[in-house]
Chains A and B, each alone.
Chain A
Amino acid sequence: MRESFLSFYERYTRILYYLAFLAGLATFIIMCLIDASALTRKFLNWPLPGSVEITEALMVVGIILPMAYAQATRYHLRVPLLTNHLPLRFQQVFHVVAMFIGFLFFAAMTWSAFSFTYESFRIDEHVWGANVRFPLYPVKGVMCLGFLMLAIQFLLDTVKILIFGPEEFAENELGSLGA
């Protein structure tokens, strides 16, 4: 039981890693687009068509899609100062509740993003760029997917901590942040 949960947890993390990798790819393409467009604009007097609009779409991929992997690798800040001196038992309770709240919140975000995407699909919403036009609902759909994966990750973390107890405080949780 414990083993099969862990193996599922790890397999899920693997999927999230691939999504994060896609996000990384999107980020790299953003870099290329910005550079290429600036250079062609200056030297060929021909800004890369659609580079702004495509960058905006890729931003959604680059930022929302890796949110679940960031949780799996404990990048999302957590500061349990009130509870981390309590007995382990209580710490576990608080930690489980915190993860479950995370699940509920991102379930709400997913639902909200789903309605948002569906409405966009229904009215056939497009990006109206200077020289590109493409449908917007897939972009909004990526946001919905990103939130859904994160909601599931929080649910898995709820179960994990319920079974295995509170984790060692990960250094990432204090944010191995670049900001």
Chain B
Amino acid sequence: MNETAGFLGILVLLLAILAGVNVMVALGVVGFLGLSFLVGIEPASTVLSNVAFSIVNGFHYSVVPMFLLMGFFAMQAGIGRDLFDAGTKWLGRIPGGLAVAATSAAAAFGAASGSSVGTATLFTKLALPEMVERGYDKGLASGSIAIAGTLAVLIPPSALVVIYGILTNSSIAGLLVAGFLPGVVFAVLLVITIVIQVKLRPSLAPRYTNPVSLYERFRSLRLVGPLLLVIAAIIGGLYTGIFTPTEAGGIGALVTLIMAVVRKRSIRGVEIGKALIETVNLSAMIFAIIIGALIFSRFLALSGATDVLGDMISTEGMSVWMVVLLVTLVYLLLGTLMDPPALLAVSLPITHPVMMQLGFDPIWFGIYVVVLAEIGAVTPPVGLNCYVVKGAAGDLVELSDIFRGLWPFILASFVMLGILLLFPELVLFLPQSMKG
């Protein structure tokens, strides 16, 4: 009976979201009504503020706004532009050179920013006009940028990874370092995908013929300096015991702010107010979803629906790989409709307990799910990154160009999923070696 309420709740939740109820509201309302059904309306109403306060009043969740702030300051510090300039000088002459440079620079920029959308916006403005001008295929140009944004989410710092940690009560520090190697591997995969495409169809990207002298190349390396400073400050600070991983976001924000001030040659040139308003809007949005999701997950847990799912899987004798396949399909399907934070919020109360019961590592599952969510961020009809690229590109490309150009990269993402499944060490190596 109660389990039925749980399953009904999942169904109503999806319908409500697709009918246009705000995702956080849908989660919260269904959770609240479900709880009211299970334990009564008064008790259910106490859960609302308890859940909200307990999450929002926690010191270690301050990394979310700090990472967001850091990303905004990093953009104002011009770190992305510098990286793209240096990347073009070094990689511009290989097949699809500008796209390769943009992808590599986006991956590097990911070490200063955790925002998939922010990174995609930035590199659309930096790289897309030049690629189109040089006669690059619009699909290749815009698609490679839309997917490159997702690298920022894998490579630490990453707010989305923290959201997974909050929703599942997993080690946030472990999750953050875990994304590094998969992020680098994914970046290499994307570059290979670009090069193969251009090799097969050279018309996609005319060769860049302007010679760049060795002197110019090495001179351009200084452009990487600011990013290296940010990384050095954070890693150095962590290893010399100046701050904890939780505090790293605050330090990162300060260091990037200082760089923005240096870059703009005055504190007034930095739009601090704008960065702060953007940060609090995003924090509010993210935490509203987290609060809704936690209310929903309380309901689901009390209903016993997740236990039933787990039992079903174990008694039906489903193999572990069948379950993984099923979970993957569910994410790919839901991912077409939902954006990463919402997708995690809606799905994790159901999938996480099941995967833990099957003995999967919570950190591994976190990275796997984040890759899945980011695939969702580029798949139609709701492919957030694509809309963002379109928004930043103006009339330069059409949405259809972007979606068309993305397919090879989505295939590359599937390869990435396969790599994660076959070599879980890729995810677990750093967190484990961190533990000494």
Contact = CB atoms under 8 A, between A and B. Distances in A.
Q: Which of A23, A37, A56, A176 has the most CB of B within 10 A?
A: A176
A55 B69 CA distance: 16
Interface stretch (B84-92, B300-308, B332-340, B399-407): B332-340
A56 to B, nearest CB: 5
A26 to B, nearest CB: 8
A156 interface: no
Contact of B57 (A56, A65, A106): A56
A143 interface: yes
A139 B65 contact: no
Given A24-B277, A112-B48, A55 B19 contact: no
A33 B283 CA distance: 18
A81 B21 CA distance: 11
A103 B192 CA distance: 49
Contacts of A69: 280-281, 284
B339 A77 contact: yes
A179 B23 contact: no
Given A59-B57, A63-B65, A79 B282 contact: no
B57 A57 contact: yes
Interface string B8-25: 000000011111111111
A143 B280 contact: no
B323 interface: no
Q: Which of B250, B283, B339, B382 has the most CB of A within 10 A?
A: B283
A20 B50 contact: no
B32 A178 contact: no
Contacts of A176: 117, 388
A139 B56 CA distance: 11
Contacts of B47: 112
B115 to A, nearest CB: 4
A87 B65 CA distance: 40
A64 B118 contact: no
B62 A30 contact: yes
A20 B281 CA distance: 8
Place the interface of chain A in its size category. Answer: 35 or more
Contacts of B19: 80, 82-83, 94, 98
Nearest to A38: B243
A78 interface: yes
B391 A24 contact: no
Contact of B280 (A38, A56, A62): A62
Contacts, number: 248
A94 B251 CA distance: 45
B32 A105 contact: yes
A59 B62 contact: yes
A7 B47 CA distance: 37
Interface in A108-140: 108-109, 111-113, 115-116, 139-140
A75 B285 contact: yes
B129 to A, nearest CB: 20
Given A77-B289, A113-B48, A179-B116, A62 B20 contact: no
Interface string A23-35: 1110110110111
Given A73-B281, A98-B20, A175-B342, 5 more contacts: A21-B277, A55-B59, A64-B284, A113-B49, A178-B72
24 contacts: A24-B276, A30-B65, A31-B69, A31-B253, A34-B62, A34-B251, A59-B56, A59-B65, A65-B280, A66-B283, A70-B285, A76-B288, A79-B337, A82-B20, A83-B20, A101-B21, A109-B28, A109-B48, A112-B48, A176-B117, A177-B117, A177-B339, A177-B340, A178-B71
Question: 9 closest Cβ contacts across the A-B interface?
Answer: A80-B20, A34-B250, A24-B276, A178-B115, A112-B48, A116-B49, A66-B280, A38-B243, A70-B284
Interface of A: 20-21, 23-25, 27-28, 30-31, 33-35, 37-39, 42, 52, 55-57, 59-60, 62-67, 69-71, 73, 75-84, 94-95, 98, 101-102, 104-106, 108-109, 111-113, 115-116, 139-140, 143, 171, 174-179
